[in-house]
Each structure stands twice: as C-alpha cells, then as structure tokens.
Amino acid sequence: MSSPYLIFFLIFSVYPILFSLTLVFHRWNIISPMKFVGLENISYLIHDPLFWKSITNTFYFLLIHIPLQVVLALVLANALNRKMRGMTFFRASFFLPVVISGVVVTILWKSLYSTETGLLNNLLIQLGLFKIPWLTSVHWAMPSIAIMATWKNVGLYTVFFLAGLQGIPRHLYDAAELDGASAFQQFIHITVPILNPVVLMVVILSTINGFNLFIEPYVTTGGGPVNSTLSVVLYIYRQAFSFYKMGYAATLGFSLAMIIFIVTLIQKRVLEKDM
Amino acid sequence: MNKILLGKIVHYLLLLIGALSFLYPFIWMVSATLKPENEIANLSLIPSHITFDSYRAVFDKIPIVRSFLNSLFVSSAITASVLVFSSMVGYAMTFLSFRGKNLIFYIMLFTMMIPFQITLIPTYILIVKLGLADSYLALILPFMVSAFGIFLFKQYFSSIPRDLIDAARIDGSSEVMILFRVIWPNAFPALVTVGIITFLTTWNEVLWPLIVIREQSMMTMPQMVTLFAIGGSAESQQGVILASAMLLAIPVIIIYIFFQRYFIESMASSGVKG
C-alpha cells in the first residue's frame, strides 16, 4: 500500500531534484537545446547584485517580522490564557487572517497603505500626524510588508504559544508566588524558559515564511521601489518565467534552499543554547 | 473585590482592541466594496447609499464564477486524493510489516525537508513535457500525496488498538477494506485535520497556478483575483479590486465561522507535531 507514495516520490521528488541539479550546470530557455556551461551560473550568481539585494531584503524583513511576531504572539497568548467568557470569540478573531488567502490580505493592505486615500494615513492625519509613504518609499516598503505579514500570521503563533502556556503546571507559579516572585519575574523565569521550544519553532517557521515571500511583494509593489522589496522567490519567478533562464533560476533555487537550511540551523543552535 | 472587577474590565478592553485590529480591516473592506468609488477614502464605515456596482463590475470583467468552480474542483480533488493515498501509506507504515519500511520513513522525512524552490522549476518542466500545462491535472497531480499527511495519519493510527485490525483480518477483510471500514471511522480527528489543512492550502495556493496556467478559463480563483488586481482590467478602481478579493474571501469566511474550532485546533496540532 506504500506504492502510491513511492511512485509519487520518484516522479515529484527524485526526478525534480536530479533535474534541478543538472540545470545548475546548464543554460536553457526550454525551447532551444540545453547547453552545458559548467560553473557559469554559480559564478554569475556570486556576482549578481540583484540576488544579494533579494537576500538582504529578506534579512531586513526577518529583522522586523520575527521580533514583532514573537512579542505580539506572546502578549496575545497570555491575554487569552484566562478562564473568562468570550475567549473562543477572541481566539477566533485573532486567527481569522491566518485562514484567509494571502491574496485577499495583500489586496486589503495595499488599500489600507495607500498614501493618498488609505485608511492608515487618513487616521494619522486625523490624529494630527503626517502621512507615511508606506509602500512607495524605499525605506518604508519592506517594513510595511513585514507588518502586514505579521498581522496575517500572528494568530497562528498565538495559538502555538497558548497551547504551550496551558501545558505549564499551575504549581510552579504557586511555588514562585510563595517565594515572593512578582508576576513579571514569574513570566521571565518560568514561562519564557518553558516556552523556549515554541519560540524556536515560531522563529524557524517565520524564517522559512520570510524566505518564501512572494505574493506580498508581487501584488503590492512588484518588488519595487528600486528593488527594495524584491524577494528571492519573486526573483526566481522572474528569471524562470519572464526571462526563461531555467538554469539560472534552478541555481537560485538551490542557493536559497541552502541559505534557509544554514540560517535555521544557526537559529536552532543559538536558541537552544540560549536558555 | 473591586480590584478584581477592574482588572477584568481592563483585560477585556485589551482583548477587544486586539480583536478589533484583526476584524476591523475586514469590516472596512466589506463597507468599501458597498460604497460608491469616490467615498472609499472616507473614514466613515457607512456609505451614503449601498451600491453593488463594484461587484457587478467584477462579474462583468472576469469569469470569476468559472474560476471559483475551478478552485473548488481542484481543491476537492486534491483533498480527496491526499486523504485516500496518505491514509493508505500511513496504514501500511503502522500496521503492515514489509521490507524497506524504514527506508520509506527516512525518504519521507527527506521529502518534507526539500524546499519547494528546488522542485518548482523541474516540476513545471515536467508538466510542460507531459503536455499538461493549462489543464486541471497540472494543478492536481503534483499535490496528490502529501508526506505531511502520511505523518499525521501514522501518528494517529498508532493510537488505534491492533486488536481491531486483527479481528477484521480474521473475518477475512482485505487490508483496503480494513482501512476504509475499520480505521477511517475511528480516525475522524486525523481525517478532519488533514482534510482542512490540505483544502485550505490548496485553495489559497497562488504561485503554482500562476506558473502552469495561462489560459483564463482554467485559472484558479486566487490566481484570477491576483492578476485582476495587478493587471489593467480593473482600471485601478479600488472598490472593484476589493470586491474581487471579497468574493475570494467569502467562501472561506463562511466555512470558518461554522468550523473555527476545527480550523484552529487542526492547524495548531499540525504545527506542534510537524
């Protein structure tokens, strides 16, 4: 009964990986025959400013997205972790953006972010502040996308943290209280260490998410202004399906996979040692 | 006593602010799609008069109903296939002993770790070479079995008592019959979890359709809405673009309202285990 899986695995995993590896050493636009170019794709990649731009863009995104995500999810999970009426409603509303298609969320936020007519800038003006060029400024565009992505995903991580919080035995807090620990001390010395594995998971999932950023810049900015929101997947998409550089796109894909692997490995090391 | 009450009120107030920051944008979106185009920028939620012009424009400009049916068909087919095939493999991995079982397990672990960036282009080329571009098969075939589904099923099946299977075998049931008649009725939570997650991810998938589908009549709903929003046919009318996004969101919102508990628990458990 495992045969469907084995057949599927051969066609949709083994073959693509081998083929992808072959493509790294070739130049190919699908139509004309494949041409062996040795390490040309790799050396092109090393000197490709747009590739490195897309990588630094992603790190910039993660730098804002991950801390925001972890802190907000922890706060929301703590707020939900009470035996009070209406918690189901609150949990469900935090989670709503998670189930809604990224396309909807992105279109919605593009409207909210609109410099002249957007809700956010209208609100800022009402408060007597100034307009922010959310998606049209080189400095603001990536942070704006990071805020939007956090809004979309934070509900999921809230639920992860909530499950973690509910697994902490009550008597730990009781003992700490007897010893005179404040609520904040309890949070730092009991809650945070126990939730460390969940934090690690949230960090790794957000990182993978960040490296896979596609639809958000595709719909809101098209990678602009001046490539400030060009993501790696968007760059691969363009190389492959706008320019038909299959060999180079495959090289980009492999490099991205390796970068994700290395980054998450480092995160795992650091976070597991940390506490 | 008063202090506790005050604490509770503050707590609710904070929760309410939280809930509003997630719900308000959606409420604003509903209102924006029902307003005349020139009122969208107003802060007020209530339009001077309710108009369905934006929705009418969407239906006039793009075959959105067709794309809805495409999405519904593709997502249902993938979900059914994942449920059947992944539970079959999960069953074999749990209850049958055969050569290479461990090997398959490691292969599965490995597949789950391959990022899609590596397989994206070769799979696209495979689909093109098979002559499947612009077809339902292009959308369905690469997602018919899921390693993640196999894992969840394997994990859940391990908790089902072996006696149940042994008894059915003595009665002369075939393994396939045991799976569907004995195991499935006892594995409702696993079926719901894998079903919801598979359906939702395929319903919301947009990169793959953008790559393999160019023909408008074959497009999935998120793909069509995306192209509508960034392309010229909406003539950058905000209300019309938002209305198309609203139409994409409505089916999921309706299902979510009724089954939110299953959605949240499914996704939370899959994350913790996966």
What is the predicted ipTM? 0.89
Query: What does the pLDDT average to over A237-251?
Result: 90
How high is the pLDDT of residue A13? 80
B91 chain-A contacts, CB cut-off 8 A: 1
Query: What does the pLDDT average to over A158-163?
Result: 91
At B60, which amino acid appears?
D
B98 chain-A contacts, CB cut-off 8 A: 2
Helix intervals (H) in chain B: 2-34, 53-61, 64-95, 101-113, 116-129, 136-140, 147-157, 162-170, 175-177, 188-204, 207-212, 221-230, 238-273
User: Quick one: which of B203, B26, B175, B198 has its CA closest to B89?
Assistant: B175
With beta carbons less than 8 A apart as the criterion, state whether B147 and B213 touch: no
A260 chain-B contacts, CB cut-off 8 A: 115
Suggest the residue from B94, B99, B117, B202 to mutate for an interface test with chain A (most A CBs closer than 10 A). Answer: B117
More confident call, B192 vs A13: B192
Model pLDDT for residues A182-204, shown as the tens digit of each residue:
888 888 888 888 888 889 888 98
Report CB contact under 8 Å: A102, B206. Answer: yes
Whether A55 shows a pLDDT value over 90: the answer reads yes
How far apart are the C-alpha atoms of B273 and B194, rounded to whole Å?
A: 13
Domain positions in chain B are 2-51, 61-273
Closest residue of B to A232, CA-based?
B117
Q: What burial class does residue B61 get, using C-beta atoms within 10 Å of its C-beta: 0-12 exposed, 13-18 middle, 19+ buried?
A: middle
Suggest the residue from B68, B264, B265 to mutate for an interface test with chain A (most A CBs closer than 10 A). Answer: B264
How far apart are the C-alpha atoms of A246 and A31, rounded to whole Å?
A: 11
Q: What burial class does residue B67 get, using C-beta atoms within 10 Å of its C-beta: 0-12 exposed, 13-18 middle, 19+ buried?
A: buried
Q: What residues does A35 pair with on adjacent strands? A: A27
Model pLDDT for residues A67-88, shown as the tens digit of each residue:
999 999 999 998 898 888 888 8
pLDDT band at residue B187 using 50, 70 and 90 as cut-offs: confident
CATH for B61-273?
A: 1.10.3720.10
A82 chain-B contacts, CB cut-off 8 A: 11
Pick the CATH number of A42-274 from 1.10.10.10, 1.10.1270.20, 3.30.70.260, 1.10.3720.10: 1.10.3720.10
Whether B272 shows a pLDDT value over 60: the answer reads no
How far apart are the C-alpha atoms of B237 and B271, rounded to whole Å?
A: 39
With beta carbons less than 8 A apart as the criterion, state whether B93 and B154 touch: yes
A93 chain-B contacts, CB cut-off 8 A: 18-19, 22-23
How much of chain A exceeds pLDDT 70, in percent?
98
User: Residues 6 or more apart from B32 whose CB is under 8 A from it?
Assistant: A111, B40, B238, B239, B242
Helix intervals (H) in chain A: 3-9, 15-24, 40-46, 49-80, 87-99, 102-113, 119-126, 141-166, 170-178, 183-186, 192-211, 215-220, 232-241, 246-274
Model pLDDT for residues B37-57, shown as the tens digit of each residue:
877 777 777 877 888 888 998
How high is the pLDDT of residue A66? 93
| Structure tokens belonging to residue A266 | 């480092």
User: Quick one: which of B199, B226, B203 has its CA closest to B70?
Assistant: B203
Suggest the residue from A14, A19, A99 to mutate for an interface test with chain B (most B CBs closer than 10 A). Answer: A99
User: Quick one: which of A43, A219, A84, A39 has its CA closest to B14?
Assistant: A84
B219 chain-A contacts, CB cut-off 8 A: none
- Find which of A51-55, B98-102, B120-124 is predicted with most confidence, using mean pLDDT: A51-55
Report CB contact under 8 Å: B264, A17. Answer: no
Of A17, A82, A107, which has the smallest distance from its Cβ to B118's Cβ?
A17
Query: What does the pLDDT average to over A216-237?
Result: 90
Model pLDDT for residues B151-162, shown as the tens digit of each residue:
889 888 888 888
How high is the pLDDT of residue B221? 95
| Structure tokens belonging to residue A63 | 């730098």
**DSSP label at B141?**
G
How far apart are the C-alpha atoms of A251 and A40, rounded to whole Å?
A: 10
How high is the pLDDT of residue B274? 33
Closest residue of A to B121, CA-based?
A250
Measure A138 CA to nearest chain B CA, in Å.
Answer: 20
A47-51, B32-36, B236-240: range with lowest mean pLDDT: B236-240
Query: What does the pLDDT average to over B105-132?
Result: 82
B200 chain-A contacts, CB cut-off 8 A: 99
Of A5, A256, A260, which has the smallest distance from its Cβ to B145's Cβ?
A5
Of B12, B18, B272, which has the smallest distance from its Cβ to A76's Cβ?
B18
With beta carbons less than 8 A apart as the criterion, state whether B263 and B50 touch: no
- Find which of A33-47, A229-243, B175-189 is predicted with most confidence, using mean pLDDT: A229-243
Measure B22 CA to nearest chain A CA, in Å.
Answer: 6
Mean of per-residue pLDDT scores for chain A: 88
